[in-house]
Amino acid sequence: MSTIRLTAAQAMVRWLSVQMTPEGERFIEGVWAIFGHGNVAGLGEALHGIGAALPTWRGQNEQTMAHAAIAYAKTKRRKRALAVTSSIGPGATNMVTAAALAHVNRLPVLLIAGDVFANRRPDPVLQQIEDFEDGTVSVNDCFRPVSRYFDRISRPEHLLTALPRALQVMTDPANCGPAVLAFCQDVQAEAHDFPEAFFTPKVWHIRRPEPDARELAEVIGALRAAKRPVIVSGGGVLYSGADEVLADLARAHDIPVVETQAGKGALDWRHPLNFGSPGVTGSDCANEICAKADLVIGVGTRFQDFTTGSWALFQNPARRLVSINLAGYDAAKHGAIGLVSDAKITLERIGSALESHKFTAPDAGLREAWFERTAVVKAAPDGAGLPTDAQVIGAVQRQADANTLVMCAAGTMPGALQTLWDAAKGGYHMEYGYSCMGYEIAGAMGIKLAAPEKEVICFIGDGSYMMANSELATAVMRAVPFTVVLTDNRGFGCINRLQIASGGAPFNNLYAQSQHVNFPEIDFAAHARAMGAFSVKVRDIRELEDELRASRGRQVPSVIVIDTDAGAGTGAGGSWWDVAVPEVGGPDRLVRARARYDEMTRQQRAFD
């Protein structure tokens, strides 16, 4: 067997550079890196040596670099991914939040965290966490509960098994998620005779599991027996590439479709069977369809509580639940009739089995009434006063076209966008599994890198901007243009409204209600300009629309700041959400809120 002598770090990057997609592209397109003493001498030198065969980019924060990588993979529909490397200590733990985000959303990212010395000679090294009772623990063990695959590379030859296992997980449609390799810093620099065959290019195919015949027959039987079915379209529809099949199935058999946050944009909003989104941030027409459905068919969805209205949404006493999912864990939730299979293949089989069978067509007037209502709340304001978030969305909507992709993650806008945004096919990107504040700007950069042909518009509140804005500078340096619409309601307006709606007193969310000495007046436009972006603060909706048009064609990010009303909600749609209210010890406002809470919990309808 012929061998080649390389350091472990050199072997890692060489191997990653030849892991290919069926289209002939690298599966790991490149590496985001911030170097420290735990990775600069070993992995950093190896990345320098391999050059353009595995490009390296520098960001500003390990968490947000990983957010950019995750957004890239989501935009690529999990067919390509990026790696992120950090030093040991805080650099590594900065990535734990991003790992959790990728885990919840079932998205591939390779996190390579520097680790302590395997030989333990210099222990304890700078930034080393010591467990008084377990000498094998390092800070990277924090990744274990939030990674799909975790391994510690404490010998060079560990790469021979660890790297293929990591890629296998990242390309597995059922188990997809973050792979974490804790790479001991002395081992990175240690030489080993690796088999040359290890570096033979490999093509990674993403499998499409066929449905079990018995499970498929049971689902088809349930469908034929149903009178009012509804399909809940999740992110798995997009990752499977089942969007066109779903559109055809719905039209052929008159089955209404509702879309989760992850699944929104699979169908164009104009599709006559697309009734919008269900649940807490859903449309009136979707929630009415779901309340009456006797068969709820989830396709590629986790049935998160926002989607189900905390399981108070589906009110038909005859209701049954079907869950079509690649993950057996998800397919079995809530006593569902589970079908473990690829979404595209399954929907094709169901369509063939139904032949010419049609259900009673849903009332098209529900859609028409919904769009009439949302047009009112999104219309430009007539008079003075701060605009609402719905009016900001309306302004962006009027300037959008089929090429526009809107994105967000946390605060007011995710719910408002799911409720109100009319998404063109493929024009919506929401990180709402983890709803991670700080994902937005890094995520927008990752989306634009993955889809440079798209006009990417990032909605972000002042709270999220304050948490993580530094990758705006990276986007400027890399000339990655996108448009940021920064709505400033002077605090955490979304949670303030939830606090009040739950019977609480307004406290510690808006700056005006916080225990501060000075009320902040933050010039977000000046801050963004200081990082090299084009930035402007607009006075009203008309100026916002003017600046949206002007932002097209720039080669750096554009940040448009607008003050908004902190008190106004979306003004349309929605359903109840289970947020526990104190049972005793409160004033009248809490007593009333608890009575309402008890009333709604009695309406929760479990399927199991």
* 3-state SS assignment for residue 75: helix
Q: Residues 570, 365, 416, CA angle at the centre, nearest 5°?
A: 15
- The CA distance from 562 to 488, in Å, is 6
- The CA distance from 219 to 145, in Å, is 34
- The CA distance from 350 to 343, in Å, is 10
- The CA distance from 314 to 604, in Å, is 8
The tokens for 551 are: 């932002």
Beta bridge mates, 329? none
Tokens 């509960």 appear where? 145
Q: How much of the chain is helix, strand and coil, in % rounded to 5?
A: 40, 15, 40
Q: Quick one: residue 355, left, alpha or beta (phi over 0 = left, psi -120 to 50 = alpha)?
A: left
* 3-state SS assignment for residue 248: helix
Q: Order of strands, edge to edge, in the sheet holding 257-259?
A: 257-259, 229-233, 295-299, 320-325, 337-340
Q: First and final CA of the chain: distance in angstroms?
A: 57
Q: pTM to 2 decimals?
A: 0.96
Do 343 and 330 contact (CB within 8 A), yes or no? no
Q: 549-566: buried (b, 16+ CB within 10 Å) or exposed (e) per residue?
A: eebeeeebbbbbbbbbbb
Alpha helices in 106-240 (DSSP H): 159-170, 185-188, 213-225, 235-240
- The CA distance from 196 to 5, in Å, is 9
**Cβ atoms within 10 Å of 135's Cβ, excluding its own:** 10
- The full set of domains in the chain, from first to last, is 3-203 (3.40.50.970), 213-366 (3.40.50.1220), 379-563 (3.40.50.970)
pLDDT given for residue 557 in this prediction: 98
- The CA distance from 470 to 270, in Å, is 37
Among 75, 196, 182, CA closest to 129: 182
- The CA distance from 428 to 411, in Å, is 17
Do 430 and 383 contact (CB within 8 A), yes or no? no
Do 230 and 293 contact (CB within 8 A), yes or no? yes
* Intervals of the chain under pLDDT 50: none
- The CA distance from 92 to 114, in Å, is 7
- The CA distance from 474 to 492, in Å, is 26
- The CA distance from 32 to 63, in Å, is 11
Rounded mean pLDDT of the chain?
Answer: 96
- The CA distance from 260 to 105, in Å, is 13
Q: What does DSSP say about strands 3-7 and 191-195: parallel, antiparallel, or unpaired?
A: antiparallel
- The CA distance from 62 to 471, in Å, is 10
pLDDT, tens digit, for every residue of 105-129? Answer: 999 999 999 999 999 999 999 999 9
* Strand residue runs (E) in 87-190: 109-115, 149-153, 178-184
Q: 231-252: buried (b, 16+ CB within 10 Å) or exposed (e) per residue?
A: bbbbbbbbbbebbebbbebbee
- The CA distance from 566 to 495, in Å, is 10
* Strand residue runs (E) in 382-475: 404-408, 428-430, 455-461
Show contacts of 502-506: CB within 8 Å, 24+ apart: 502/579, 502/581, 502/593, 502/597, 503/581, 503/582, 503/586, 503/589, 503/590, 503/591, 503/592, 503/593, 503/594, 504/589, 504/590, 504/593, 505/589
User: What does residue 207 show for φ and ψ, rounded to 5 degrees?
Assistant: -70, 160
The tokens for 7 are: 């350091």
- The CA distance from 227 to 210, in Å, is 27
- The CA distance from 601 to 75, in Å, is 37
Q: Residues 437, 439, 440, CA angle at the centre, nearest 5°?
A: 100
pLDDT given for residue 608 in this prediction: 60
The length of the chain, given as a count of residues: 608
Tokens 């994105």 appear where? 407
